[in-house]
C-alpha cells in the first residue's frame, strides 16, 4: 500500500504549517479523517477570509462535508453537505443524471421530467427531423405524454452512492512496482471487490481512478433506458448565435431541451415499451422565480468530462504550440466546406447539423484555449511552479526521489511530440473529418474478420455493420465529402514527415498527376461503398465475391495502408512514450501533493459526479472592459438579423418582446436570458443545473467564456467563468412562447427570495434505503405558486 495521506485534498494556505497540520504531516497517521475534521474546522476561518472568490475545483459530493461545506456556506449557501449528497435520504444528487454519456441533466418534476441543453438533445432532435417535420428548425412540443418521442440508445444514469475504495484497490501495491504489475494488482483487487460489493439487481458498479491512480472511488449507478423527447425550442432560440457566439460572452442562447424518464410499473429501468410510465424520482429540483444577483451563491452539479490541471509546462507547450493548432487547421478546412453546403441546401443543413456542431464546437474551443494559454502566460506560470517545486525538493532529503521528475518529463515530451503530432493529424482526418475514410475503415474490418474467422466471421461482421451503415447513409453526401477528402489528403501529404507518409497515398496522387481534386475524383467515382443501394445489393453475394469487390476499391486500399502506417509507424512509439509519461505523471501528482503543503488539490475531472461552487459574477476580459453578469432579451433583439443563419429571431419572440409580455418570469420589465458564474466547469457539465443557496434551480449550465476555455489546463479565477441560461428564460419559453402549460403545471415554481414558500431542503426519510421506489412528502410537485 502506498503510504500517502490522500485524505489531504486541501492543503490550507499558511506560511508556516498550522500545528495540527504539522502533526498530520509529520506523524504517520492512521486515523486521517478525525484529524482532518479538526484541521478543517480550525482552518475554516482562514479559508473564508482568503478564498472568498477562489472557487477553483470540481469536488466529490461525498467529501463536501469534510472539505467544502464551511467554505460553501461562507459564500452564501444555506444547505448542509448532507442536503446535497446523502445515502440515507433523498438529496440533491438524486435529481442529477448523466445524460446520454456526455452531458448532464436534472429532474424538474415528480414525473421524471428532465431538463438539459438543446445541444445535448441535439442528436435526438435531429434524428426525429425531416423536411416535413423539421424540429431543428421549428422546435418540438409534445402535446401529451403519448406524443413524447422515444430515442433508441439514449440513457440516463443516476448515482446511488459513492465509496472510497482506495485501500482495497491499492492493497499490495508498492512504489517500486512497474506499471503493468501495478495495474494487474489493482485490477485483481477490484475484480474481487466488485463481485462481492453490495448492490441491487438493477444497479451497476463502476470504479474509477483519481489523482492519476493514487486514489479510487466506487460509484453504484442506476441507468434508465426509455428516455423520451418532450420539448425543444427552434434552433433560432436553442442555438441562437450558433458558432459566432459559441464560447463567447455576452450570450443570448436559450440552450435547453426537455426529456422524460420512463420506467416500468415498479419504477425501475426498462427497455422502451409503450406500457412504461413516467418515472417517479426520489428528488426533483424546484425552480426559483426570483432570479439571481451578482454575488449570489451558485452550485453547479454534474458530470465534468476531462481536465488536466496538474501537467508539467512541457505538456502545455505541446498542446498550445503543436496539437491544438494542428487540429484546428484540419477542421478549418472541413468546416469551410460543410458550412457552405449547409447554407446552400436545407436538406444538407439537417443531415450535417449534428456532425457540424460537434466538429465546430471543439474547433472553436481549441482556438480559445491557445489564446487563453498564451494570454495568461500559462507556460511561464507552470515554469515558475516547477522552479518552486525543484527548490522544495532540493532542500528536503525525503523528496530526493523526485529530483529527476521534471528533466525526465522534458525529455519524454521532446521524444513524443512528433508522434503525438502525427497521431493528431491521423485521428482528426481518419476519425472525424473525412467521412469516406471512416466508412472504408468499416469495410476494411470485414476483410479482417474474413482473415480471422473466414466466411462465417465476415457474415457476422456484415450483420453488425448493416444498422451502422443505414445511419451513416442517411446523413451522408458524397459530393461534399469528396471535397473534404481532397483538402485533407493535401494536409496528410504536406504536413507529415516522411516516416508518417502513406506510400499508397503518394502513389495514387502521382497517378492523378499531383492533383488533389483529380485524386478525389478517382477515389469517389470508383467507390461502391458510398452508394447505399449498391452496398446492400453487394451484401447478397457470396462472401468471396464481397471480399473481392471490397479489396478492389481504391479507397479501401488507401485506408488499409493509412491504418498500417498508423499502427506500425506512429502508435507503437507513441504508446511507449505515453505509458512512461502516464507513470511519471502519477508520481508527479503524488509529489505535488506532498511538496506543496500550501496548495489546494482536487481531482481532475473524469466524467464522475462533481460539485463546483461559486457566485454569480462578471469579469474584466481586458483593460477598460467589464462584463456584466446578466443578459436580457434586449440583447437578443440587438443581435437580431432578419432571416440570418445564426441570428434570426422567431416572430413570436419579437411579438412578446414588443408587448413586454413576460408573465411572472420578467424582472422590472425586462426578460433575463443568461448569466455568468465563477463555477469551475468543463465539457460534460453541459445541462448541469445551477442551484441556489437553498437547493432551487436558477439556471442551466451550457458554456464557458472565450478568455477562460483554457481552464481545463490552467484555471484562472480572474477570467474563468461558466455561462448559464436563466431558469426564468426557460420557463418563459416553455410557457409564453411554446404554450406548453402542461409542463409548467408539473413543475414546482418557488420564490425563495421574496419569502413565499421556500422549498425545504430535501426531507429526511429516516432510515430510508436508497431504493428506486418513489418517495412521497415534500418531494411531490406542489401547486403552482402564483406571484
Q: Would you tell me which residues interact with ligand ARG (CB under 6 A)?
A: 119, 239, 242-243, 246-247, 357, 360-361, 683, 686, 702-703
Which H, E and C letters describe 199-249, residue by residue? CCCCCEEEEEEECCCCEEEEEEEEEECEEEEEEECCHHHHCCCHHHHCCCC
* Smallest distance from ligand ARG to CB 118, Å: 8
Q: Which of 243, 255, 692, 726 is catalytic?
A: 255
Cell readout for 225 is 433506458
* Smallest distance from ligand ARG to CB 248, Å: 9
Which H, E and C letters describe 593-620, residue by residue? HHHCCCCECCCCCCCCCEEEEEEECCEE
Which residues in the 69-108 window bind ligand GLU by CB under 6 A? 103
* Residue 29 DSSP one-character state: -
- State yes or no: residue 703 binds ligand GLU (CB under 6 A): yes
The listed partner (ligand ARG, ligand GLU, none) that binds 684, CB under 5 to 8 Å by sort, is ligand GLU
- State yes or no: residue 704 binds ligand GLU (CB under 6 A): yes
Cell readout for 437 is 475514410
17 or 101, CB closer to ligand GLU?
101
The listed partner (ligand ARG, ligand GLU, none) that binds 239, CB under 5 to 8 Å by sort, is ligand ARG
- State yes or no: residue 614 binds ligand GLU (CB under 6 A): no
The listed partner (ligand GLU, ligand ARG, none) that binds 682, CB under 5 to 8 Å by sort, is ligand GLU
- Block residue for cell numbers 506532498: 594
185 or 361, CB closer to ligand ARG?
361
Q: Which helix (H) or strand (E) segment is 158 a member of?
A: strand 156-164
68 or 235, CB closer to ligand ARG?
235
Q: Which of 109, 686, 688, 711 is catalytic?
A: 686
Q: Judge whether 686 counts as a catalytic residue.
A: yes
Distance CA(688)–CA(715), nearest Å, equals: 19
269 or 304, CB closer to ligand GLU?
304
- State yes or no: residue 256 binds ligand GLU (CB under 6 A): no
Which H, E and C letters describe 46-61, residue by residue? HHHHHCCCCCCCCECH
* Smallest distance from ligand GLU to CB 721, Å: 10
* Smallest distance from ligand GLU to CB 686, Å: 3
- State yes or no: residue 686 binds ligand GLU (CB under 6 A): yes
11 or 247, CB closer to ligand ARG?
247
Query: Applying CB under 6 A, which of residues 12, 213, 254, 684 lies at the interface with ligand GLU?
Result: 684
The listed partner (ligand GLU, ligand ARG, none) that binds 685, CB under 5 to 8 Å by sort, is ligand GLU
The listed partner (ligand ARG, ligand GLU, none) that binds 681, CB under 5 to 8 Å by sort, is ligand GLU
Compute the chain's Rg from CA coordinates.
27
Query: Applying CB under 6 A, which of residues 291, 683, 689, 752 lies at the interface with ligand GLU?
Result: 683
Size of residue set near ligand GLU by CB under 6 A: 10
Burial of 659 (0-12, 13-18, 19+ CB in 10 A): exposed
Question: 653 CB contacts (<8 Å, ≥6 apart)?
Answer: 237, 633, 636, 737
Distance CA(350)–CA(650), nearest Å, equals: 19
- Separation of first and last alpha carbons in the chain: 60
- State yes or no: residue 601 binds ligand GLU (CB under 6 A): no
- Closest by CA to 338, choosing from 212, 473, 483, 469, is 483
* Residue 785 DSSP one-character state: P
The listed partner (ligand ARG, ligand GLU, none) that binds 753, CB under 5 to 8 Å by sort, is none
* Smallest distance from ligand GLU to CB 421, Å: 24
Are 324 and 366 a contacting pair, CB within 8 Å?
Answer: yes
516 or 702, CB closer to ligand GLU?
702
Distance CA(585)–CA(213), nearest Å, equals: 10
Give the CA distances from residue 120 to residues 134, 638, 650, 737, in Å, rounded to whole numbers and listed in that order: 18, 27, 22, 21
Cell readout for 642 is 432578419
Q: Which DSSP string corresponds to 666-709?
A: -BTTB-EEEEEE-----TT-TTPEEE-TTS-EEEEEEEE-GGGG
- Closest by CA to 617, choosing from 702, 670, 679, 687, is 679
The listed partner (ligand ARG, ligand GLU, none) that binds 246, CB under 5 to 8 Å by sort, is ligand ARG
> Which segment (3-11, 452-460, 478-486, 702-710) binds ligand GLU by CB under 6 A?
702-710
> Which segment (156-164, 220-228, 699-707, 751-759) binds ligand GLU by CB under 6 A?
699-707
- State yes or no: residue 257 binds ligand GLU (CB under 6 A): no
- State yes or no: residue 57 binds ligand GLU (CB under 6 A): no
Q: Give contact residues for ligand GLU (rule: CB under 6 A).
A: 103, 681-686, 702-704
Active-site positions? Answer: 119, 255, 686
Amino acid at each position: 500500500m502506498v503510504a500517502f495521506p490522500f485524505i489531504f485534498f486541501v492543503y490550507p494556505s499558511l506560511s508556516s504549517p498550522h500545528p495540527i497540520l504539522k502533526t498530520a504531516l509529520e506523524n504517520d497517521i492512521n486515523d486521517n479523517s478525525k484529524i482532518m475534521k479538526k484541521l478543517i474546522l480550525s482552518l475554516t476561518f482562514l479559508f473564508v477570509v482568503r478564498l472568498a472568490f477562489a472557487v477553483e475545483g470540481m469536488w466529490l459530493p461525498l467529501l463536501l462535508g469534510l472539505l467544502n461545506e464551511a467554505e460553501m456556506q461562507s459564500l452564501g449557501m444555506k444547505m448542509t453537505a448532507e442536503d446535497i449528497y446523502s445515502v440515507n435520504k433523498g438529496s440533491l444528487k438524486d435529481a442529477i443524471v448523466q445524460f446520454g454519456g456526455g452531458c448532464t441533466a436534472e429532474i424538474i418534476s415528480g414525473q421524471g421530467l428532465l431538463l438539459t441543453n438543446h445541444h445535448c438533445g441535439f442528436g435526438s432532435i435531429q434524428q426525429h427531423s425531416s423536411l416535413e417535420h423539421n424540429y431543428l428548425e421549428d422546435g418540438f412540443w409534445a402535446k401529451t405524454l403519448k406524443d413524447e418521442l422515444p430515442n433508441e440508445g439514449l440513457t440516463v444514469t443516476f448515482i446511488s452512492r459513492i465509496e472510497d475504495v482506495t485501500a482495497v484497490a491499492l492493497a499490495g501495491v508498492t512504489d517500486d512496482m512497474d506499471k503493468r504489475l501495478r495495474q494487474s494488482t489493482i485490477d485483481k483487487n477490484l475484480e474481487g471487490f466488485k463481485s462481492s460489493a453490495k448492490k441491487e439487481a438493477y444497479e451497476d458498479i463502476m470504479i474509477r481512478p483519481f489523482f492519476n491512480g493514487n486514489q479510487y472511488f466506487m460509484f453504484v449507478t442506476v441507468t434508465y433506458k426509455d428516455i423520451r423527447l418532450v420539448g425543444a425550442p427552434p434552433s433560432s432560440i436553442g442555438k441562437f448565435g450558433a458558432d459566432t457566439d459559441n464560447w463567447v460572452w455576452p450570450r443570448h442562447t436559450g440552450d435547453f431541451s426537455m426529456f422524460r424518464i420512463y420506467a416500468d410499473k415498479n419504477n425501475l429501468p426498462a427497455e422502451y415499451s409503450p406500457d412504461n410510465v413516467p418515472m417517479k424520482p426520489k428528488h426533483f429540483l424546484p425552480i426559483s422565480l426570483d432570479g439571481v444577483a451578482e454575488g449570489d451563491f451558485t452550485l453547479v452539479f454534474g458530470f465534468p468530462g476531462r481536465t488536466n490541471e496538474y501537467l508539467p509546462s512541457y505538456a502545455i507547450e505541446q498542446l498550445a504550440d503543436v496539437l491544438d493548432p494542428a487540429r484546428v487547421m484540419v477542421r478549418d478546412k472541413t468546416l469551410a466546406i460543410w458550412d457552405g453546403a449547409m447554407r446552400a441546401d436545407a436538406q444538407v443543413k439537417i443531415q450535417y447539423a449534428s456532425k457540424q456542431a460537434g466538429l465546430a464546437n471543439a474547433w472553436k474551443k481549441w482556438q480559445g484555449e491557445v489564446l487563453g494559454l498564451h494570454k495568461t502566460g500559462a507556460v511561464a506560470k507552470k515554469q515558475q511552479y516547477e522552479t518552486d517545486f525543484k527548490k522544495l525538493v532540493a532542500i528536503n532529503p525525503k523528496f530526493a526521489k523526485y529530483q529527476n521528475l521534471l528533466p525526465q518529463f522534458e525529455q519524454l515530451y521532446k521524444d513524443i511530440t512528433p508522434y503525438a503530432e502525427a497521431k493528431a493529424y491521423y485521428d482528426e482526418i481518419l476519425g472525424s473529418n473525412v467521412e469516406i475514410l471512416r466508412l472504408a475503415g468499416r469495410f476494411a474490418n470485414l476483410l479482417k474478420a474474413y482473415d480471422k474467422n473466414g466466411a462465417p466471421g465476415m457474415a457476422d461482421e456484415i450483420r453488425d455493420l448493416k444498422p451502422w451503415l443505414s445511419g451513416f447513409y442517411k446523413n451522408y453526401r458524397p459530393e461534399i465529402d469528396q471535397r473534404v477528402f481532397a483538402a485533407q489528403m493535401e494536409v496528410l501529404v504536406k504536413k507529415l514527415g516522411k516516416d508518417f507518409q502513406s506510400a499508397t497515398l503518394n502513389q495514387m496522387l502521382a497517378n492523378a498527376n499531383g492533383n488533389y481534386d483529380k485524386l478525389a475524383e478517382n477515389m469517389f467515382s470508383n467507390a461502391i461503398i458510398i452508394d447505399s443501394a449498391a452496398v446492400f445489393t453487394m451484401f447478397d453475394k457470396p462472401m468471396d465475391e464481397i471480399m473481392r469487390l471490397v479489396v478492389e476499391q481504391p479507397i479501401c486500399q488507401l485506408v488499409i495502408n493509412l491504418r498500417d502506417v498508423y499502427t506500425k509507424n506512429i502508435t507503437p512509439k507513441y504508446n511507449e512514450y505515453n505509458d512512461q509519461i502516464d507513470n511519471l505523471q502519477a508520481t508527479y501528482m503524488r509529489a505535488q501533493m506532498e511538496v506543496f503543503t500550501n496548495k489546494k488539490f482536487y481531482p481532475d475531472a473524469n466524467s464522475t459526479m462533481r460539485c463546483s461552487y461559486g457566485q454569480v459574477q462578471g469579469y474584466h476580459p481586458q483593460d477598460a472592459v467589464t462584463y456584466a453578469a446578466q443578459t436580457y432579451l434586449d440583447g437578443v433583439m440587438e443581435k437580431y438579423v432578419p432571416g440570418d443563419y445564426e441570428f434570426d429571431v422567431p416572430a413570436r419572440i419579437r411579438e412578446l418582446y414588443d408587448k413586454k409580455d413576460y408573465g411572472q418570469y420578467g424582472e422590472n420589465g425586462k426578460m433575463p436570458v443568461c448569466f455568468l458564474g465563477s463555477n469551475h466547469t468543463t465539457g460534460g457539465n453541459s445541462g448541469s443545473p445551477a442551484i441556489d443557496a437553498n437547493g432551487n434551480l436558477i439556471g442551466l449550465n451550457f458554456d464557458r467564456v472565450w478568455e477562460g476555455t483554457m481552464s481545463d489546463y490552467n484555471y484562472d479565477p480572474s477570467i474563468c467563468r461558466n455561462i448559464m441560461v436563466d431558469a426564468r428564460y426557460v420557463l418563459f419559453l416553455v410557457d409564453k412562447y411554446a404554450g406548453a402549460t402542461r409542463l409548467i403545471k408539473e413543475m414546482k415554481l418557488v420564490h425563495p427570495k421574496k419569502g413565499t414558500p421556500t422549498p425545504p431542503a430535501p426531507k429526511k426519510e429516516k432510515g430510508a434505503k436508497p431504493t428506486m421506489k418513489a418517495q412521497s412528502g415534500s418531494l411531490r410537485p406542489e401547486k403552482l405558486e402564483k406571484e
